[in-house]
A and B are shown apart, each in its own frame.
Chain A
Amino acid sequence: MEQRTNSPFPSIDRPVMALVGVVLVIGTVLFMWSDRAKDWRFYQMEFKSLVAEQFGEEKAATVPSGLQQIWVADLQRADRCTTCHQGVAWKGFEKAEHPYRTHPEAPLRTHPLEEFGCTSCHGGQGWAIETDAAHGQVAHWEEPLLSRTLGEEYTLSGDKNALMQMNCNTCHRYDRETAGAAAINLAKRMVNEKGCRACHVINGFGGTIGPDLTEVGDKAPEQYDFSRLSGQRTAFAWHVAHFRDPRALAEGTVMPNFNFTTEQAQALSMLVLSWRRHDVPARYLAGAPRTDPRSAEELAAEEAMKTGPGRWFVDTGCFVCHSVSALGVKSPAQIGPDLSTAVEDTQSRFGMTVDAFLANPTGTMSVVLSRQIILTPEQKKTAVEKLREAFAEYQRQRAAGTAPAVSH
């Protein structure tokens, strides 16, 4: 039988091949290990033992493990903060150290986690699951955690935790006063008192001598001139210095020096940096109108109806479908008949008195009175009285020849 040709290679290549195999295994172990070795696993373990200590093992077993996330589709935010900050919604850890501490309850009542997430108020990088990246203390992330520590770095006068109020103003931009946002409120008062709008457009109105400030918070840090600023090179620091002495930072500016105090300058800087183009759904915007706008005439007519003799029909909601023209109530929809002649109508249409009809309505009214406008027997009595009054007024007006045309 033929033999194999002798080859000089195996003696070296075989060990090399084995070495490559070993390196491959090492590489595999390394990447699997690096994917698992995350700080949040440690924090979750710690929190579990904290819960066990305070509330017993049974409670501790209910603490979720693994990556946690609050997904707010409306705001396009996936906040994974609760992966480490597991105590946020637990009572009893108010005094615990971070990241286990309980979140103060009051703000969460009006801003539930499921609707706002964490970063829309606190800043930081919700996607991240490592401390530095999540707190935004890394390159290429421009929304750092607006924490007390950061406030101390800026030596905020007053509340060191005030920087977070910038994010309040994303939704509360059009408020005159926002509860709990003292710095922003102060700044808004300053804007009105000092008459910033004399020179600047803010929210679409104001003078044109200075730049439009409506979206000035979006101006990139690279676009500021830092050449005359010493110390921290941030947009915030620039604004503080600029508010305190505009001419020191921008040569030849006509902006007057208002002699702001440090607190005022810092508050104003927070306010202007909060003026950004945010894509926030309308329902998140405080003070945004929830109804179609109405004309002044419509508003005046409604006001007259509410204060006039037909007030009861407006308050009770009858006017949504029925006019009561004798009493000056005009329904915007006029789906049902005019109630001025209801006393007569129930007789001719249903063959019963208005008392009997209200007690035992038929057709549409049976649905309306059982589902939408639910009247107690006393209220029904009042209704009959009011209808009689309306009819009396109608007859009086007819006799006088001033009765309005009644639609049926």
Chain B
Amino acid sequence: MRLPLSSRKAEPDAPGVRPQMLWSLSPRSDREAGDAIASNFMFHAFPAKVSKASMAWNYSFWLGTISAALFFLLILSGLPLLFLYVPSVERAYQSVKDIEFVITFGSWIRAVHRIAAHGMVIAVFLHLVRVFLTGAYKNGVGRGQHREWNWVLGVVMLLLTLFLSFTGYLLPWDQLAFWAVTVGTNIASSIPWVGATVRELLIGGRTIEQATLIRFYVLHVVILPLALGVIVAYHMWRVRKDGGLARAEHETLAERPIDTPVVKTKTYTLLGVARGQAPVIRAQALEAPDTTVNAVPDLVRRTAIATLGTFAVISIMAVFIASPLEEPANALVTPNPAKAPWYFLWLQEIVTDTTIRIGSFTVNGAFVGGVLLPGLLIGLLTAWPWLDKSSHLATGVWLPRVRARQNTVFLLVVLGILILTFIGMALRGPYWYFYWPWEAWPDIPARI
């Protein structure tokens, strides 16, 4: 039997939902707020409550959320491009020109995709830096915590992000793409013994051709996004399982347990009901109402701010920053200078600096800069949670004293990478010669 409309209105349609013109979610109690999380598919990844400290803008800078938002935006903007881009050496360049010039919103969509991709490399890197500096890969006192594995996943996701960006780099099939990938894959070929095979596997032959394009395309639009998506989901699940952000851990550990307020209650005795007070409970901070807020609406709102804010910024940037598209790929003409994608330029810089020529004898820098050093860094990064023996009290704290030395070394390495990247991006001109910013590069000659 259908209930009359008025009687149906009395109960919320879903936990905390009361239909209104502009905003329907209005939980009246903590329980309703929690139910709203539990019963909503979009919210199911959230906890019912979250510590106030983890919500702070200046602890995590919401870099993980921003990374995820950018990944989502990349999928969104990638979908229309899938319909328009043709992965063939004859048509790819032409189809990108069409996207740039005549597709409705085409150049904006491409710019969103490109800026979001570069932004994601930056956001994921900064997220990793933040997690390192706050020791957020460390476990606290909770049971079943394995934050170190989430850190390993994070390193894997950084590499996936770089590889995703790198595979996308080739797709426009212009000079920029062709030579960036040439430089990138040549670095891979300097791995001892298997280098040539790795390069051949990567580009599907010995020259960058149709076989390379289709490999990079399939990796870029199917395999890598799928892999990253799965790992992101697992990463989020682990965050929940490890008891939220490490910051929450720190609160639990560092702050004195809080006495929950005394509530009037009934005590059932053998012979009846005794009016009185419940025993005072010394609650752990995580459970205490003063240190937590409900995920609905506070966490949801902040997540929306971070996500939609990211979208808004990228959207506006994409209107003003045009995506480059150089001459069609030409294997016979090397642009001067030929540069790897910017996030690999620190490696290219090291490759140049470690290539030493003494007479006719050459020390190949590609092995040092392209294999040894990045391999060592990634290995160290992955193993660091097991090498870091500092107290668990340093979990989720910005730059604690006990981790001062490792944080300093880490920051120096990061600074080195940034400086080398800057040199590669801005100070290297034709023939990889060094040019100060105020020095003009020689004019690039034209045909006519």
Contacts and interface: CB of A to CB of B under 8 A. Distances in A.
Contacts, number: 146
B3 interface: no
A286 interface: no
Interface of A: 1-5, 7-10, 13-14, 16-17, 20-21, 23-24, 26-28, 30-32, 34-35, 67, 69, 76, 78, 80, 127-130, 133, 140-144, 146, 150, 163, 220-224, 226, 233-236, 273
Contacts of A146: 448
B71 to A, nearest CB: 19
Contact of B304 (A17, A27, A129, A130): A17
A27 B115 CA distance: 15
B5 interface: no
Contacts of B107: 35
Contacts of A129: 101-102
Nearest to B292: A5
Contacts of A1: 28-29
7 contacts: A9-B302, A23-B313, A23-B316, A76-B90, A222-B336, A235-B446, A273-B447
Interface in B61-90: 90
A144 B101 CA distance: 18
Interface string B297-315: 1100110110011011101
**Closest A-B pairs by Cβ, 9 of them:** A27-B315, A221-B445, A2-B29, A220-B333, A23-B312, A127-B97, A140-B326, A233-B445, A7-B293
A144 B113 CA distance: 29
Q: Which of A21, A34, A80, A140 has the most chain B CB atoms closer than 10 A to its own CB?
A: A140
Contacts of A273: 447-448
Contact of A222 (B55, B298, B333): B333
Interface of B: 27-31, 33, 52, 55, 90, 94, 97-98, 100-102, 104-105, 107-108, 174-175, 289, 292-294, 297-298, 301-302, 304-305, 308-309, 311-313, 315-316, 318-319, 324-327, 330, 332-336, 443-448
Given A9-B293, A9-B301, 19 more contacts: A4-B33, A4-B294, A7-B294, A7-B298, A14-B301, A24-B315, A26-B312, A26-B316, A30-B316, A127-B98, A140-B324, A142-B447, A143-B447, A221-B444, A221-B446, A222-B444, A222-B445, A224-B445, A273-B447
A76 B448 contact: no
Contacts of A20: 304-305, 308-309, 312
Nearest to A235: B447
A13 B105 CA distance: 32
Contact of A13 (B27, B52, B298, B326): B298
A35 to B, nearest CB: 5
B333 A223 contact: yes
B298 A10 contact: yes
B445 A4 contact: no
